[in-house]
Amino acid sequence: MKRGARSLLATLLTVLVVGVAVEARADMMEKLAGTNPKERAGIQTAFMKSKLGLPEAELAKVAAINLEYAEKAEPVIKGSDGPFMKMRQMKEIQGQKDTALQGVLTPAQYQAYQAARDEMKQKFEEAIEKKAAGGS
């Protein structure tokens, strides 16, 4: 295969994968739009409780942080911005939330939280790759 054809093929594959990723994230935003901040915060808190084994005192603080940032994310989720802008805004909100969580969690708990979150992100990306490859 000629260099130009390979380059074109690589570009097309990249566009396809990025397009599927954006579509998957847009689908996720649509699903999130069907929930409210309290529901999302409750799910996040339950996830963190199971993964981190938080004592009740810390759990209450984490629940408050999760609710605060779920409420901050609400206008982004329900907004009319495109998926790239929404992803950028959600990343910024997540960064602020991470800073707040670091003030409550021990370094070991925060590291476990990051590892669990990274694992979920990896599974999501694998699902996107599978969808791009034509899987279901």
Buried b (16+ CB within 10 A) or exposed e, 4-40: eeeeeeeeeeeeeeeebbeebbeebbeebeeeebeeb
pLDDT tens profile 15-48: 555 554 555 555 555 556 678 999 999 999 998 9
Query: Structure pTM?
Result: 0.71
Burial of 93 (0-12, 13-18, 19+ CB in 10 A): middle
Q: Where are the domains of the chain?
A: 3-132
Note the residue count of the chain: 136
Residue 79 binned pLDDT confidence (cut-offs 50, 70, 90):
very high
Contact 40, 67 (CB under 8 A): no
pLDDT tens profile 84-129: 899 999 999 999 999 999 999 999 999 999 999 898 888 878 887 7
